[in-house]
Amino acid sequence: MTPQELAIVLARILTELVAARGSEIPVTEQDTQVERPKNRDHGDWASNAAMKFAKRLGMPPRELAEQIAARAAETDGVAKAEVAGPGFINLTLDAASAGETARRVVEQGEHYGRSDALAGQRINLEFVSANPTGPLHMGHTRWAALGDSTARVLRAAGAEVTSEYYINDAGAQMDKFGRSVLAAALGEDAPEDAYPGAYIQALGAQLRERLPGLAERAAADRPAALAEAQELAYQLQLAEIKDSLERFNVHFDVYFSERTLHTAGEHGEPSPIAAAIDRLREQGHVFEEDDAIWVRTTAFGDDKDRVFTRGNGVYTYFAADAAYYLSKMDRGFGEKIYLLGADHHGYIGRLTAIAGAAGDDIETDITVLIGQLVNLNGARLSKRAGNIVELDDLLEWLGSDALRYWLARYPADSPLSLDGEKLRSRTNDNPVFYVQYAHARTCAVDRNAAAAGVDRSGFAPELLTHEAETELLGKLQQYPGIVAGAAELREPHRIARFLEELAAAYHRWYDNCRVLPLAEEPVGDLHRTRLWLNDAAGQVLRNGLDLIGVSAPERL
């Protein structure tokens, strides 16, 4: 019996007791959630539901708890239900009921822990969205890891998620990029405002190779040559960014080009940016002042109204942000989640205001998460870029698994300082190694069990009575709730922390409970059942690691 099933049982019991008193107070399983007691003498699970409802029912909490406990004790799988303190309900499962978790996990395999908690939600999750004017660097790694992990967790809870990268391929930074690479390709001195780094020279060399005659064309028509060089360099740099992300095990469903927002339709339709102002005007939030067109974003909590179009007719960055948000609405996304860096606090008000001006509910339809910077001791500046630490260099130094795990195990809003050598270490002090080693150990047990003739042909869950087995089963039972909670709160670090607890419980079980028979001891149902438990632990470790984009090696 899982914690979720216990919550359902308690909700049913409490609903019946409420009805018996002639009350119409609604009761849901969210009201009757159970938790693992810190003191195991208090049972396997505990609930404070009686204390939540006693006052509304006009009853002493302990009296209500006793009525709930009496009925709960009659439930199949519950060995004991007791009342403690002012009204806590402590529940102890019988060994067979608890042990059934092992079989359930193995039979459900990679689906164990997945749910429909967020079914029906269509979510757009935008993250990284770095300018395509240079390589990805350490500042992008945290959102790359957290964004991809968040998408995986949301999908595991039943949401339909589109992970999206917004390519800032329009505007002044792209013009600067084009001038930089063209000068490099032609062997000219770099412009005053050129992007620094050897990667610009490398792009210039690729342009010379792929665009024969570029120098002649530049001499005859510099603007045309600049446009040609800028476009090819952009495509080359974007391809490198995509390759770096894939090697980091980060996947995007959509790469959305900002340029499309400025492009008019084939049949004379206005560009999405031009159309956006008309849509916002229809909502009644547009006004004109000082030869500019404004959106009254202060009506939705922004610190100032925003300019959409200046007097010279040039669109602002805000205009592109608004058109992009409307694009997400048009594509049918309910919630739009933005994962932004530490220097983007000012975007919270403006993005929320865009949502409100567009007619969305700013409480439910938009979420803006701001991440803090990450510092990695021992990281070296890129030889190509000169002034940054490249993601590619980090991957070569640390590997994707270590980097992803450590970035995923902390809340996004906490400043993060990591020790590079610790990330590389193969000791129990390194959480990613500790968790991966637990999984590799489950695989070693499998191999040794096969050699010793132990298989899963028998299953007697009532034999799993050792304290370490009870603890390990309890952890496995918690996993679905951990995933649902991480999805609901958009906090994938909960998965990583849980995996460390599960690994610790598994290692303790391994030290105390043998799967393999001793010497001439015959293979029995206890050995076979413990193999089920071993394999269940391995499955949950695999499932959890996959949710944070980390591999589960079979050998270390």
SS3 (DSSP) at 483: helix
Which sign does the torsion angle of CA 173, 176, 181, 184 carry?
negative
For residue 259, is it within any domain? Answer: no
Both 362 and 466 in one domain: the answer is no
251 contact partners, CB below 8 Å, separation of at least 6: 148, 163, 245
Both 354 and 433 in one domain: the answer is no
For residue 83, is it within any domain? Answer: yes
Query: H-type helices in 165-285, by residue range?
Result: 172-186, 198-210, 214-220, 222-247, 272-282
Percent of the chain with pLDDT over 90: 79
49, pLDDT greater than 80: yes
Q: What pLDDT shows up at residue 102?
A: 97
253 contact partners, CB below 8 Å, separation of at least 6: 162, 163, 164
65, pLDDT greater than 90: yes
Q: Give me the number of domains the chain comprises.
A: 3
Measured between alpha carbons, how far is 32 from 407 in angstroms, rounded to an integer?
A: 33
For residue 43, is it within any domain? Answer: yes
For residue 263, is it within any domain? Answer: no
Helices (H) and strands (E) in the chain, counts: 19, 13
Q: Which residue has the higher pLDDT, 5 or 184?
A: 184
- Give the amino acid at 272: P
pTM over 0.75: yes
Q: What pLDDT shows up at residue 94?
A: 84
Both 289 and 361 in one domain: the answer is yes
For residue 159, is it within any domain? Answer: no
371, pLDDT greater than 90: no
In this prediction, residues 91-95 reach a mean pLDDT of 87
Q: Looking at 159-163, 210-214, 494-498, 519-523, which range is the least confident one?
A: 519-523
What is the overall mean pLDDT for the chain?
Answer: 93
Closest residue by Cα to residue 535 from 518, 517, 552: 552
120 contact partners, CB below 8 Å, separation of at least 6: 158
CATH classification at residue 35: 3.30.1360.70
Q: What pLDDT shows up at residue 388?
A: 80
pLDDT grade, residue 385 (50/70/90)? low
For residue 463, is it within any domain? Answer: yes
In this prediction, residues 319-343 reach a mean pLDDT of 94
Measured between alpha carbons, how far is 114 from 32 in angstroms, rounded to an integer?
A: 21
CATH classification at residue 513: 1.10.730.10
In this prediction, residues 423-442 reach a mean pLDDT of 96
Last residue of a domain, one of 45, 69, 93: 93
Q: What pLDDT shows up at residue 191?
A: 93
Both 459 and 537 in one domain: the answer is yes
Asked if residue 182 lies in contact with residue 226, where contact means CB atoms within 8 angstroms, the answer is: yes
pLDDT grade, residue 37 (50/70/90)? confident
Q: What pLDDT shows up at residue 164?
A: 98
361 contact partners, CB below 8 Å, separation of at least 6: 355
pLDDT grade, residue 30 (50/70/90)? confident
pLDDT grade, residue 22 (50/70/90)? confident
Q: What pLDDT shows up at residue 346?
A: 80
Percent of the chain with pLDDT over 70: 99
Both 432 and 538 in one domain: the answer is yes
Both 359 and 450 in one domain: the answer is no
Q: Looking at 6-15, 38-47, 174-183, which range is the least confident one?
A: 38-47
In this prediction, residues 277-297 reach a mean pLDDT of 92
Both 432 and 542 in one domain: the answer is yes
Last residue of a domain, one of 353, 369, 385: 369
Both 363 and 453 in one domain: the answer is no
Q: What pLDDT shows up at residue 133?
A: 95
* Residue 195 DSSP symbol: P
User: Residue 360's domain spans which residues?
Assistant: 270-369
Q: Which residue has the higher pLDDT, 110 or 37?
A: 110
For residue 122, is it within any domain? Answer: no
468 token code pair: 């370490």
313, pLDDT greater than 90: no
For residue 415, is it within any domain? Answer: no
Last residue of a domain, one of 64, 93, 122: 93
Both 364 and 450 in one domain: the answer is no
485 contact partners, CB below 8 Å, separation of at least 6: 491, 494
pLDDT grade, residue 381 (50/70/90)? low
In this prediction, residues 486-491 reach a mean pLDDT of 96
Q: Which residue has the higher pLDDT, 430 or 97?
A: 430
In this prediction, residues 218-234 reach a mean pLDDT of 97
